[in-house]
Amino acid sequence: MLNIQNIRNDFPILSRQINGNPLIYFDNAATSQTPQVVIDAIVTYYSKYNANIHRGVHTLSQEATDAYEHARQDIQTHFNAKHAHEIILTSGTTHSINIVANGFSEFLKKGDEIIVSALEHHSNIVPWQMLCQRTGAILKVIPINLNGELIVEAFNELVSEKTKLVFVNHVSNALGTINPIEHIIKKSHNVNAAVLIDGAQACPHIKPDLQALNADFYVASAHKLCGPTGVGMLYGKEKWLNKLPPYQGGGEMIADVSFEKTTYAGLPHKFEAGTPNICGGIAFGVALNYMNTIGFETIAAYENELLNYATKQLLTIEGLKIYGTSKQKTAVISFNLKEIHPYDVGSILNQLGIAVRTGHHCAQPIMDFFEIPGTVRASFSFYNTKAEIDALVKAVKKAKTMLSI
């Protein structure tokens, strides 16, 4: 059982006021808030042992290196990767996806096929379109139904011997739909296609077991997991990371350099050119450890309770429509009020101290499918409360009254 008040006390920003109202933060799908223990880790790094890593014999460098590599091990443990060197620390999910897309330029030829889903964030669409332009590969799309679910039968028909890569998000950022990734991974592997799972939206709610899932690549961002922005991870199976060429050249990713020839470092350094976000990597590990002390099963159960409560209460508002009604979803509700633009609703909610996201959520194909300009998205975390949801419902009713013609 969660002690919500104790948890809320861990997050200093939740005591803020916005426009004279207590902050109600329902934009967790974009960025979660940061607990004091993570803030303290950042302050401690810069005030106690700020130094470059892997390169110095002096004490500060050694301390920073130890903390950074310990964080990598914490991330490995959390995701149950087989090896720590299968965890590549990046600037975030987008960076991670682009590393893989760039690397596969060497392996694809004209006529090869790549499959993505209609539920993807732009970060899991555009890099593959660019890859197709470079290689002549063909992009295929798994369609969705009116519940915002992937049509699995259509995916089964798309997969063939021509399929080389499959890229699907674990959870839709726009709708909260949990995708059947176990089936997708197994079916793709039956034709020897590699699979990348975008876990950015899943990881705050679900603790994936990467060895059990058997995905070839899995990506995530710390700022969705109570960590800082500007850091994330690319998990790749050792065999694939050894095959892929480096994404960037520079310091750290080399074994030996001369003007005649350069040889590359082993994993994970092969993909970590230049000075990394050292503090961010350390804080990422601290954030995961914080969430694990609460427990992901406990988090998921509580957030599901919030989701069900919010869904029921919001649907009491006449003219409100929810997009994304899959039975398997995380704590995200995308909705619109009839004939009212989502931006206008979001602006009024902000005046009342409620932070939601409005727009297409970097998922324009989903909005085009539903023939809407965007939605109001309320996304919940384990530090939110039913009282905050009651305030949201009251505020949406007020917005409807103010904006109705």
Per-residue pLDDT 10s for the chain (405 aa) are 789 999 999 999 999 999 999 999 999 999 999 999 999 999 999 999 999 999 889 999 999 999 999 999 999 999 999 999 999 999 999 999 999 999 999 999 999 999 999 999 899 899 999 999 999 999 999 999 999 999 999 999 999 999 999 999 999 999 999 999 999 999 999 999 999 999 999 999 999 999 999 999 999 999 999 999 999 999 999 999 999 998 888 777 777 777 888 777 788 999 998 999 999 999 999 999 999 999 999 999 999 999 999 999 999 999 999 999 999 999 999 999 999 999 999 999 999 999 999 999 989 999 999 999 999 999 999 999 999 999 999 999 999 999 986
Q: Is 137 part of a structural domain of the chain? A: yes
Same domain, 147 and 237: yes
Same domain membership, residue 184 and residue 53? yes
Distance of CA 383 to the CA centre of its chain: 19
Residues 120 and 156 in one domain: yes
Helix axes 296-314, 278-294, angle to 10 degrees: 80
Q: Is residue 405 part of a domain?
A: no
- 262, 292, 322: which is the final residue of a domain? 292
Nearest to 42 by CA among 224, 259, 338, 278: 278
How many domains, in total, are found in the chain?
Answer: 2
Within this chain, do residues 168 and 304 fall inside the same structural domain, yes or no? no
CATH number at residue 26: 3.90.1150.10
| Phi and psi angles of residue 19, each rounded to the nearest 5 degrees, phi first | 55, 40
Query: Are residues 46 and 159 both part of a single domain?
Result: yes
Q: Do residue 132 and residue 176 come from a single domain?
A: yes
Same domain, 303 and 320: yes
β-sheet bridge partners, residue 194: 165
Residue 208 is classified by DSSP as: -
Same domain, 315 and 172: no
Sequence-distant (6+) residues with CB within 8 A of 342 are: 336, 358, 359, 373, 374, 375, 376
Q: What is the pLDDT of residue 405?
A: 64
- Residue 313: give the domain boundaries: 4-30+295-400
**Active-site residue flag, 226:** no
239: domain CATH number is 3.40.640.10
> Are 225 and 353 members of one domain?
no
Residues 72 and 43 in one domain: yes
Q: Same structural domain for residues 233 and 288?
A: yes
